[in-house]
Amino acid sequence: MSFFKKLKESIASKTETVTKQFKDGLEKSRKGFVEKVADLVIRRKKIDEEFFEELEEILIGADVGVNTVLQLIDDLRGEVKKRKIEDAAELQPVLSEKIRDLLRGDEDNSLHLNPNGTTVILFVGVNGVGKTTTIGKLAHHFKQQGKKVIMAAGDTFRAGAIEQLEVWGQRVGVEVIKQQAGSDPAAVMFDALQAAKQRGADILLCDTAGRLQNKSNLMEELNKIYRVIQREIPDAPHEVLMVLDATTGQNALSQAKLFGEKSGVTGLVLTKLDGTAKGGIVVAIRQELSIPVKLVGLGEKMEDLQEFDSEQFVHGLFSGLLKEEDTDNQEDDK
């Protein structure tokens, strides 16, 4: 049985659950990572030290993270010894399982909603990562579920931030609470909270500034926002989502470490996964931070913001390759 047939059978029961968004959105990562692994398996065939060294380079190149890669390679060595695997073709299904295990974790990846009133979701992150776009797409997602949504334009410092959120509000049919540029963000949040209560809103999505004069100013501003929110709704915010740009790879991980420690982040949003060949950053973040990835951006359409699912992520990486390569192999067999 060919390598691709073995791999296909090992995940056949799950591939039908893979959404089009995950398959399409991970195409660059599939080409940049999985196809390199497949090529390595075909070229080397035998599992030896050179095979592991080359696999290590591929994984590091995909931004899986050095510490995670070393752990993964050690685990694979152990599996090879335990199962007495000699043919490299038998190792890729094991690799996909190991990556799935690294991503799975024990934490809850779902968004936590308030069962008794307005759910307040606060968005943090540096400028340029796609924060405002993510808020607009999530507003669309909740509105499609029949929920009443309000957005708060709390980034009063970045030029055009308020107008950008207003454009999204018009696109998805959601009210935006705002003040003038340069206003106190905490005052905007107060107005938004009052509006949410008066209008019986289910969801309040709050934008915040990505950069002030320095990091301590930014954290001070966020703490002020927290105090205003908790005074109005004691158990809020129900989620604090940090938005990261997946195309920046290890820089995104560094941002999450620096920013996440200080701002009470409960979950991560990885945008622009469709624009990078380094989708392994999802694995690195999951391993090096105790913060779950809750949402991923897999394209430009509103529907392309998806709840993160480790099963679909792994199968989105591997499934598209199988069909195409298996057909090629059948042609070769003829």
> What is the b/e burial string over 55-66, where b = at least 16 CB atoms within 10 angstroms of the residue's CB?
bbebbbebbbbe
- The answer to whether 44 is a known ligand-binding residue is no
- The answer to whether 256 is a known ligand-binding residue is no
- The answer to whether 217 is a known ligand-binding residue is no
- The answer to whether 132 is a known ligand-binding residue is yes
- The answer to whether 272 is a known ligand-binding residue is yes
- The answer to whether 262 is a known ligand-binding residue is no
- The answer to whether 126 is a known ligand-binding residue is yes
CA 330 to chain centre: 36
- The answer to whether 276 is a known ligand-binding residue is no
Q: Using CA atoms, how far apart are residues 257 and 289, in angstroms rounded to an integer?
A: 7
Q: Is residue 303 within 8 Å of 280, Cβ to Cβ?
A: no
- The answer to whether 36 is a known ligand-binding residue is no
Region for 134 from its dihedrals, namely left if φ exceeds 0, alpha if ψ lies in -120 to 50, beta otherwise: alpha
- The answer to whether 131 is a known ligand-binding residue is yes
- The answer to whether 75 is a known ligand-binding residue is no
- The answer to whether 247 is a known ligand-binding residue is no
- Lookup: tokens for 223: 């703490």
Q: Using CA atoms, how far apart are residues 147 and 140, in angstroms rounded to an integer?
A: 10
CA 194 to chain centre: 31
- The answer to whether 248 is a known ligand-binding residue is no
- The answer to whether 130 is a known ligand-binding residue is yes
- The answer to whether 205 is a known ligand-binding residue is no
Q: Is residue 207 within 8 Å of 151, Cβ to Cβ?
A: yes
DSSP letter string, 45-102: -B-SHHHHHHHHHHHHHTT--HHHHHHHHHHHHHHHHHHT--BGGGTHHHHHHHHHHH
> Binding site for GTP: residue ranges?
125-132, 207-211, 271-274
Binding residues: 125-132, 207-211, 271-274
